[in-house]
Structures are given as C-alpha cells and as structure tokens.
C-alpha cells in the first residue's frame, strides 16, 4: 500500500489531540457527512489514531452512496474501524445498537444549491438535524457535535473586527439567499429544544487537502488557477477580509468541542488572523512560486466586508490555538494537490478564471 500523503498532518493531529482521542478508546461513533470536507478529515484522523494509539474504535458512517466513496478512497473506506450505513440524513433507518458519540457534519456549504434550491438547502439542514437528534436520543448519545456555521450571524458589521459568539446578528429572513444561514440557526434551535447534550461548532473558512477547487471558495479558486498555470484574477477590489484555519487544526478543534465543549454553548471554529482577499491571492501565488495576481475592480470607497471570528472562547475554555500559519497551510495544500495530479502546472496560460470573495 502506498504511503498516506497526509501522514505528517495526521501525526500532528494525533500529537495535538491525543488526550481527547484516548477518551474515545473503545467507543462507538456515528458520523453524518463523513464523505464531505469536515467528515473526510475526521475519518482520516480517527482511523490514523486508531492504528497509532490502538483505540479500538467502531465508527458507523452514514452515506447515500458508499460505493462511490470507496472507489475514490478505497484505503480509507475499507479501514477496519469503519462501517458504512446507507441512507439520506433526512430519513435514514437507524443502525442498531447504542452510540455514545454522534457527529452531525452533513450538509455542504454549497453556494449553488443555496442559490438555486434554497428550500431544499433549508430542508436538508433542518429535517436532517431533527432526524439525527431523534436517532441520538434513541441511541443513548452522551455527546453530539453539530457542525454549524458563522453564517448564523448574518453579515458581519464592518466596524466589528472579530465576531464573538454573543453577537446577535442574523441572516435576512426575507432573502432566499439566507437559506443556509437560517437553516443552521434553526438547527441550533432544534438542538437546544431537544434537551440533548449537543455541542455546537460554528465553522468559518478553512483550507487544506480535499477542499473543492471548483466551488465558491476563493482560496480554492485561486489555487485552481495557479495549479493550471494561469494568473489569479480577482473581479472585485480585493478588500474583503476573511480568515482561514488549516484542516489539520480543524480536526483537533472539532474533537475538543465534542468532548469538552459545554452543551448548547456555541464555539466559533476558525482562525482570527484576518487577511484581505488581495493578500490571500498574493499568498497563494507566493506559496506556488508565482507572482501573477490581477485585481480588476476599482476601490468602492466603502468599508471592506469581513468574515472573521473571535476565538477567545475556544482559547480560554478549550485551550485551542491556530497552530498552522496561513503560509504553511497554503504550501501544504498545494503540495498535496500536486501529488494528486502531476498534470498541474502544465496547462497553457490561456485564460484567467474568475474567483469570488467567499
């Protein structure tokens, strides 16, 4: 079997998260969304830790199409700690037995689905969460993790540098584009109303292997352009601020929230190091050994938008940090992408693909 290209990252996760991982020894976990970005990283890390620490985990993963994931990632999908359970998060037949730990990570942050089928987006989040809560109750769950989103806050006021968990903002309920954010708000309410010990992780923006390069994520779009030998082109003025947590750090944060977070007390999960979209593009170019960044838009004269969390609560209560600096996160992601596809950087420089500011 070829070596795992994520071995160094996974060893680092085990080192940082070992106290939490050892508390899962011998336990059964049920995970939804196991084939998405969050879920894939959790499965990679948990199976790696199972081998390194002899945890004897049993992890049941809900998937609508386990065969497709097995073809894509056979070594991971066939790991001895994993069992696959076919079903849709909204109406799956519950697997038998008790599950002390449930991680509900289903529902991708799909801008296209949010735009074209907002009711489906909202229903998938809310109906799925309600069904998982009913399952968790019957399964004797001792702790459930809900992966929520910073979208629950609505637009970040431009005068607030970092959003904390007490911010009372909200998405616009009269806009169909709010389906994702409103769905996550409703999911958090369902968890609170259930009376179950649900821990809430409000995710912001992330970077790392398995991040889609063809979705609405600016950092993924920038990497796509770079890897195909094209200059990075920004259609706006490059002033919006975002922040990015590396996927390896993300796994440690999620495990910490699951095991030590207070029920129904949300924790922002992300980096608090703000970077403008223009500087992000330059950082991606530098990490890839290029310098071609084109900013097409003129300054608007308006304060730049922001999407940056405060992580004081996670630091103070859970001892979490941003361990991987952005430049290293970008280098690791690009190195992984090149290892996956040797054709990258051999595409003629003929067009610059637009990248948004998500």
Q: What is the pLDDT of residues 124-146, one digit of tens each?
A: 999 999 999 999 999 999 999 99
Identify whether 6 is part of a domain: no
What's the pLDDT at 110? Answer: 67
Record the pTM.
0.94
Asked if residue 357 has pLDDT above 50, the reply is no
State the Cα–Cα distance between residues 189 and 297, nearest whole angstrom: 40
Asked if residue 347 has pLDDT above 50, the reply is no
Where helices occur in 207-246 by DSSP H, the ranges are 218-227
Among 24, 13, 43, which Cα is nearest to 259's? 24
Identify whether 181 is part of a domain: no
What's the pLDDT at 59? Answer: 98
Tell me the pLDDT tens digit for each residue of 324-339. Answer: 999 999 999 999 999 9
The residue ranking higher by pLDDT, 109 or 163, is: 163
DSSP notation for 263-329: TT--EEES----EEHHHHHHHHHHHTT---EEE-SPP-SSPPPEE-B--HHHHHHH-----S-HHHH
Asked if residue 343 has pLDDT above 80, the reply is no
- Compute the C-alpha angle 28/8/44, nearest 5°: 25
Identify whether 334 is part of a domain: yes
Percentage above 90 pLDDT, the chain: 85
What's the pLDDT at 332? Answer: 97
Identify whether 125 is part of a domain: no
Tell me the pLDDT tens digit for each residue of 288-308. Answer: 999 899 998 888 889 999 999
Average pLDDT, the chain: 93
Identify whether 283 is part of a domain: yes
What's the pLDDT at 183? Answer: 96
What's the pLDDT at 75? Answer: 96
What's the pLDDT at 18? Answer: 98
Identify whether 336 is part of a domain: yes
Read off the pLDDT band of 3 (50, 70, 90). Answer: confident
Which structural domain range is residue 316 located in? 209-243+272-358
Place of tokens 């709010």: 178
Tell me the pLDDT tens digit for each residue of 75-116. Answer: 999 999 999 999 999 999 999 999 999 999 997 666 777 788
Asked if residue 355 has pLDDT above 90, the reply is no
What's the pLDDT at 348? Answer: 35
Q: What is the CATH number of the domain that holds 349?
A: 3.90.25.10
What's the pLDDT at 131? Answer: 98
What's the pLDDT at 356? Answer: 32
Query: Taking residues 151-163, what's their average pLDDT?
Result: 97
Query: Taking residues 33-54, what's their average pLDDT?
Result: 97
Query: Taking residues 51-76, what's their average pLDDT?
Result: 97
Identify whether 85 is part of a domain: no
Query: Taking residues 234-254, what's their average pLDDT?
Result: 96
Identify whether 262 is part of a domain: no
Report yes or no: 267 and 261 within 8 Å, Cβ to Cβ.
Answer: yes
Asked if residue 32 has pLDDT above 70, the reply is yes
Backbone angles phi, psi at 83, to 5 degrees: -125, 140
Asked if residue 351 has pLDDT above 70, the reply is no
Distinct helix (H) and strand (E) counts, the chain: 12, 15
Asked if residue 4 has pLDDT above 80, the reply is yes
Half-sphere exposure of 168 (CA within 13 A, CB side): 0
The residue ranking higher by pLDDT, 198 or 5, is: 198
Tell me the pLDDT tens digit for each residue of 189-198. Answer: 999 999 999 9
Report how many domains make up the chain: 1
């Amino acid at each position: 079997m070829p070596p795992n290209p994520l071995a160094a990252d996974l060893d680092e996760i085990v080192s940082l998260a070992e106290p939490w991982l050892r508390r899962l020894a011998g336990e059964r976990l049920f995970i939804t969304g196991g084939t998405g970005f969050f879920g894939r990283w959790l499965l990679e890390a948990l199976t790696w830790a199972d081998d390194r620490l002899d945890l004897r985990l049993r992890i049941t993963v809900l998937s609508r199409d386990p065969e497709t994931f097995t073809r894509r990632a056979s070594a991971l999908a066939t790991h001895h700690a994993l069992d696959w359970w076919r079903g849709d998060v909204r109406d799956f037949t519950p697997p038998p037995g008790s599950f002390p730990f449930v991680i509900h990570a289903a529902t991708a942050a799909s801008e296209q689905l949010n735009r074209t089928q907002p009711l489906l987006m909202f229903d998938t989040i809310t109906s799925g969460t309600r069904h998982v809560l009913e399952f968790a109750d019957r399964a004797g769950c001792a702790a459930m993790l809900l992966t929520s989103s910073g979208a629950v806050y609505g637009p970040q006021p431009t005068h607030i540098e970092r959003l904390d968990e007490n911010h009372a903002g909200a998405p616009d309920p009269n806009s169909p584009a709010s389906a994702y954010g409103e769905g996550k708000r409703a999911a958090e309410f369902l968890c609170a109303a259930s009376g179950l010990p649900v821990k809430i992780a409000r995710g912001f923006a992330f970077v790392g292997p398995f991040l889609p390069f063809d979705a609405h994520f600016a950092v993924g779009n920038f990497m796509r352009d770079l890897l195909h030998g094209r200059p990075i082109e920004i259609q706006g003025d490059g002033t919006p601020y975002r922040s990015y947590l590396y996927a390896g750090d993300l796994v440690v944060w999620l495990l910490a929230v699951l095991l030590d977070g207070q029920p129904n007390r949300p924790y922002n999960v992300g980096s608090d190091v703000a970077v403008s979209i223009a500087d992000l593009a330059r950082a991606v170019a530098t990490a890839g050994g290029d310098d071609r960044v084109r900013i097409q838009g003129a300054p608007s004269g308006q304060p730049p938008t922001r999407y940056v969390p405060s992580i004081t609560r996670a630091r103070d209560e859970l001892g979490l940090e941003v361990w991987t600096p952005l430049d290293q996160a970008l280098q690791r992601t690009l190195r992984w992408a090149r290892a996956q596809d040797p054709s990258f950087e051999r595409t003629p420089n003929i067009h610059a693909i637009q990248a948004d500011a998500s």
